A and B are shown apart, each in its own frame.
Chain A
Amino acid sequence: MTVTIESVRQRAESDAKSRGHYLNPDPKFLQDLLEGLKTNEDRYGYPSCPCRPATGVFEQDRDIICPCDYRDPDVAEYGACYCSLYVNKAVYDAGKPIPIPERRPAEKMFPELAPKPAEAKTTAPTSQPTGRKLWYCKQCGYVVFLEDAPYICPICKAKKEFFAEVRLEIQQKTS
C-alpha cells in the first residue's frame, strides 16, 4: 500500500481518538508533521518520529516509531508529545503547543557515539540479571518481557494499567 498524507493523517486521527488525545491544533504545524512522518515511512519503511534522528535500523528506532514509547507519559506530564503531533485537550484548546523536554534516554539518540560492544563489555558484564519480568495485557493477552510494563499495548493499544505481571507458581497436588 502506498503511503499518502491522507493515510498518515487518518492513522494519526484514529490513534488519537482511541487514546483520548488530540492532534496538533495548528493546521500548518500538523501538516508539516504528517509530511515528516510520510517522508520517514517512505525512507525507512516505518513512520519514525519526525523530530528525532532515526538510524534506519529498525531495532534502534523501535522506541521512536510513531506513536513513540514516550508519547503517553509526555502527554500525561506536559500535555503534548515531543514533536507535538499528539496533545491533550487543554493544549488543543489553547491552540499553540510549546516544546517539551526530551524523555528518550540520551544513549539511544546517537548509537554512533556509543562505545563499541567490545569496549562496553569490560565495564558492563552481560551476564548480570536484567530485572526483566513477563507482562501480559489483560485486554488482548499480548505478552512481553520487559523491566516495566509498556506504556501502551502495541497490539490493542490498551493503557499501561491494563498490564499485569505474570508470575509462575508450581503447586504440588496433595489430595
Chain B
Amino acid sequence: MPVTKVEGTKNTHRVFLYTLSTCGWCKRTKELLEEKDVSYEYIDVDVLKAEERKAAIEDLHKRNAPLGFPIIIIDDKELISGYQPEKILGALEL
C-alpha cells in the first residue's frame, strides 16, 4: 500500500494514520502533527486501488477501529479515532 511519510524531529513514537484525502478533520489532524513537528506516516484510503482499499479496511476491522476518519494508530497498539488534539498529544507525551 502506498504509505506517505512525513518527517519531523519528534519520532519517539511510531504514528500511523488512516485518512481520507478529502476530509477536513483528517487535514486538521495532519496539521496538528506537523505543527508539533511529529514524524508520521499515513494512507489516504480514498485514493487506494480496490484490492489495497480492501486490505486497509480489513486491517481497520481487525483493529476494531470505529468507522470514521481519521484513525490514528500509535506504536501499532493505541488507537485514537477522530480529530481529538488533547488525546493525540497526550498519547504522544507532548
Interface residues of A (CB under 8 A from B): 24, 29, 32-33, 35-37, 39-40, 50-54, 83-85, 99, 102, 106, 109-110, 112-113
Contact = CB atoms under 8 A, between A and B. Distances in A.
B67 A110 contact: yes
A37 B20 CA distance: 12
A102 B83 CA distance: 13
B72 to A, nearest CB: 13
B45 to A, nearest CB: 6
Given A102-B68, A106-B67, A110-B57, A32 B84 contact: no
Contact of A112 (B24, B25, B54, B83): B54
B28 A29 contact: yes
Interface of B: 20-28, 45-46, 53-54, 57-58, 61, 66-69, 82-84
Nearest to A109: B67
A36 B69 contact: no
Contacts of B21: 36, 39
B22 A102 contact: no
B46 A99 contact: no
Given A50-B20, A53-B20, A113 B61 contact: yes
A22 B52 CA distance: 37
A84 B26 CA distance: 12
A40 B22 contact: yes
Contacts of B54: 112
Contact of B24 (A33, A40, A106): A33
Contacts of B27: 32
